[in-house]
Structures are given as C-alpha cells and as structure tokens.
C-alpha cells in the first residue's frame, strides 16, 4: 500500500507540474520548432536571393559586353544594373553592377552619372578591393575630364596594395596632364616596378615612358 501511495503521490506531483508548466513547455517546443523552420526558411530565402542576383548579374554582363550595343541596349543594361542594386544592394553583385553602370554611363557621355555610380561604390561597398577599383576608375575619368588634381586626390588613399601598379600608372597620367613630366616619369617607373614585383601585366606604361624619351625604361 505504501508503494501504491507513493506512486499515486508521484503521479499527482507530475499532474500538478504539468498543469503548472505544460503550457509553457508546449509553447517552448513550438517556438523552438518555429525557430528551426524560420532559420531554414531564411537560409532558403538567402540562397534564392543569391541565385537570383547571380543570374541577373550574368544577364547584365552579357548585355553590357555585346559587340554592338545601341542606345536602347545601353538603356536596358543600365536599367538592369539599377535593378540589381535596388534588389541586392549589399551584395558583391550590386557593387559590380555599379561599376558596369559607370562604364555604360561613360559610353553614353553621361559623365555625371558615371561619377555618381563610382562614388556610390566608394561610399557603400564594404570590400576594399572593389572600392579601390572604383577609385581607379574615378581617377581615370577625372583625368579625362581635365581635373587631374582631383584625380591625384582620389588616388591618395583607399587603394589596396594589389592595385599599386594601376594606381601609379594613373598617377603618372595625372602628373603628365599637369605638365609635370618628371613626376609622370617617376610614377610610371613605379608602376612598372610594382607590376614586375607582383608578376602582373600592365599595358601601355612602357610606351608612355618611351614617348617621354626614356629609352632605358625596359620591364
């Protein structure tokens, strides 16, 4: 009898505990299940978004690299770049789409839009290398627009060492535009040295030096 009473007491205790805690336990299990489901759903969503961004970016690349890109094609490509930025703004695809948009804007002689696209990469991207590319392209554009001093300022910071040769090359262009042949020569020699050190191809710099009469500048 004592054992039976003990079992009944244990059963009563379990019933009381369940009455007091069962609801919260069920809620906890439900929340845990919902959390797992929510995480999986979020992961699936992220994967779908990444796939969509990749597909749209590839479409943009194919369109932008078409051999004969007329005004309609340019407009279509730039609209697609805007779409990628709007829908996937924090991704690498958005950064690359902005860079392509800048190139397309230059093709349309819309230099203000090109500058805006490049500055948006510089300001918004969290990727140092991409920011550096944007700075290089902005500096080239500034030299082409006759603002070499602004180009030198753009090149002054924010460009990773991996792009040192390209930075020196453009700095040489800016210095030459300002009539500073000695500084241009020094910058182009530096570009060649960086390219050789990193085993990187860099085109046209040797010819620029030869145009200044620097025969000994051989990579």
Determine the Cα angle at 72 with ends 66 and 73, to 5°: 20
Q: Which two tokens stand for residue 201?
A: 């191809």
**pLDDT at residue number 49:** 59
Mean pLDDT per 10-residue run, the chain (219 residues)? 47 55 55 53 53 83 79 88 88 91 92 95 93 96 96 96 96 97 96 93 92 60
49 closest CA partner among 81, 84, 76:
84
| CB contact set of 169 (below 8 Å; sequence gap of 6+) | 187, 188, 191, 202, 204, 205
State the DSSP code for 137.
Answer: H
Amino acid 69: pLDDT: 76
Phi, psi values for residue 94, rounded to 5° = -65, -40
d(CA 14, CA 54): 56
pLDDT in the model for residue 17 = 54
pLDDT at 34: 52
Instruction: Outline where the chain has alpha helix (H).
Output: 2-64, 71-87, 92-107, 111-124, 128-144, 148-154, 164-177, 181-198, 205-211
* DSSP codes of every residue in 1-30: -HHHHHHHHHHHHHHHHHHHHHHHHHHHHH
Alpha carbon distance 178, 193 (integer Å):
23
Return the pLDDT at 189.
95
């Amino acid at each position: 009898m004592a054992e039976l009473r003990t079992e009944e007491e244990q059963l009563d205790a379990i019933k009381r505990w369940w009455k007091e805690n069962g609801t919260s336990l069920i809620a906890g299990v439900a929340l845990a299940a919902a959390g797992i489901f929510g995480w999986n759903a979020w992961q699936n969503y992220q994967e779908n978004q990444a796939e969509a961004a990749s597909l749209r970016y590839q479409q943009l690349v194919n369109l932008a690299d078409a051999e004969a890109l007329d005004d309609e094609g340019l407009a279509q490509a730039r609209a697609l770049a805007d779409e990628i930025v709007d829908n996937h703004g924090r991704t690498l695809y958005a950064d690359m789409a902005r860079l392509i948009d800048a190139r397309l804007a230059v093709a349309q002689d819309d230099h203000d839009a090109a500058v805006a696209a490049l500055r948006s990469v510089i300001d918004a991207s969290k990727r140092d290398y991409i920011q550096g590319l944007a700075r290089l392209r902005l500096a080239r554009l500034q030299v082409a627009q006759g603002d070499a001093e602004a180009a030198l300022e753009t090149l002054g910071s924010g460009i990773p060492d991996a792009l040192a040769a390209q930075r020196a090359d453009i700095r040489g262009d800016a210095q030459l535009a300002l009539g500073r042949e000695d500084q241009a020569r020094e910058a182009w020699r530096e570009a060649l040295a960086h390219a050789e050190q990193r085993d990187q191809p860099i085109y046209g710099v040797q010819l620029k030096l030869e145009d200044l009469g620097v025969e000994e500048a051989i990579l």
